[in-house]
């Protein structure tokens, strides 16, 4: 590989990264005028379960302004991911053999689908169940008033953790196809991996047993799916 070729690759990489940044900035600018509506939508799983008279609060002066803006930027970043993966694919695909392109293309597409599936599972299914339990367990003498910044942090951690956890089938297939592990060795390591999933659930989710189990159990199921798919 000549010096000119290396430089041309770096220039192409820079161009594709700039396209991703521009797309992110475009989505951010497009979403900021609707940041309050976006936050109301994201806060709905909790607000819909709050008892009469309970509401969300802001404990910092700038929180009513900054929390919706941060959420809009987070969402813009999430929705920029498919464009990022597309740019990665367009950058690496010319250097791949035809059989490698046949394998890598669907894998990148599956990565995007699985991440958003995990994020949707966390937001639409896990969050309402967790909130309903927490609110139901609160003593009658306690008035529930969640801080908007703390809620945003809770939601983002949970959604991101589930999105990453749903990538386990892709990781399993890559381990087998690359030769780093065999299907049988992963099956034998199943008990240790289950413990690892529980530890990951403990580290990536808020500090309650329900969030941890809601993450660890799907990780186990997805691992089993990855084992099945790796056989093919």
Give the pLDDT confidence of 29-49 residue by residue, as tens digits: 999 999 999 999 999 988 888
Do the domain assignments include residue 149?
yes
Do the domain assignments include residue 184?
no
Residues in the chain: 232
Q: How many domains does the chain have?
A: 1
Do the domain assignments include residue 23?
yes
**Contact present, 149 and 58 (Cβ < 8 Å):** yes
Do the domain assignments include residue 66?
yes
Q: Which residue has the tokens 């927490």?
A: 134
Lowest mean pLDDT among 67-81, 102-116, 127-141: 127-141
Do the domain assignments include residue 187?
no
Do the domain assignments include residue 120?
yes
| Global confidence as pTM | 0.83
Cα–Cα distance measured from residue 167 to residue 111, given in angstroms and rounded to the nearest whole number: 6
pLDDT beyond 60 at 232: no
Give the pLDDT confidence of 92-126 residue by residue, as tens digits: 888 777 777 777 888 888 889 999 999 999 899 88
Domain with 64 in it: 3-166
Task: Supply the pLDDT for residue 4.
Answer: 66
Do the domain assignments include residue 113?
yes
How crowded is the C-beta side of 108, counted as CA atoms within 13 Å? Answer: 19
């Amino acid at each position: 590989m000549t010096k000119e070729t290396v430089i041309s690759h770096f220039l192409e990489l820079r161009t594709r990264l700039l396209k991703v940044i521009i797309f992110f900035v475009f989505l951010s600018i497009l979403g900021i005028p609707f940041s309050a509506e976006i936050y109301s939508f994201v806060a709905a799983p909790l607000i819909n379960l709050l008892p009469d008279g309970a509401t969300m609060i802001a404990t910092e002066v700038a929180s009513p302004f900054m929390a919706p803006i941060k959420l809009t930027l987070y969402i813009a970043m999430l929705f920029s991911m498919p464009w990022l993966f597309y740019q990665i694919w367009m950058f690496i695909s010319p250097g791949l053999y035809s059989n490698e392109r046949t394998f890598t293309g669907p894998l990148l597409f599956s990565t995007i689908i699985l991440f958003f599936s995990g994020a949707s599972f966390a937001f639409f299914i896990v969050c309402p169940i967790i909130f309903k339990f927490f609110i139901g367990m609160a003593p009658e003498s306690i008035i529930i008033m969640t801080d908007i910044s703390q809620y945003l942090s809770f939601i983002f951690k949970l959604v991101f953790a589930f999105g990453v956890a749903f990538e386990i089938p892709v990781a399993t297939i890559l381990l087998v196809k690359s030769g780093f592990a065999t299907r049988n060795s992963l099956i034998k390591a199943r008990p240790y991996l289950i413990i690892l999933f529980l530890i990951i659930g403990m580290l990536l989710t808020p500090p309650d047993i329900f969030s941890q189990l809601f993450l660890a159990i799907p990780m186990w199921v997805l691992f089993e799916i990855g084992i099945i798919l790796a056989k093919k």
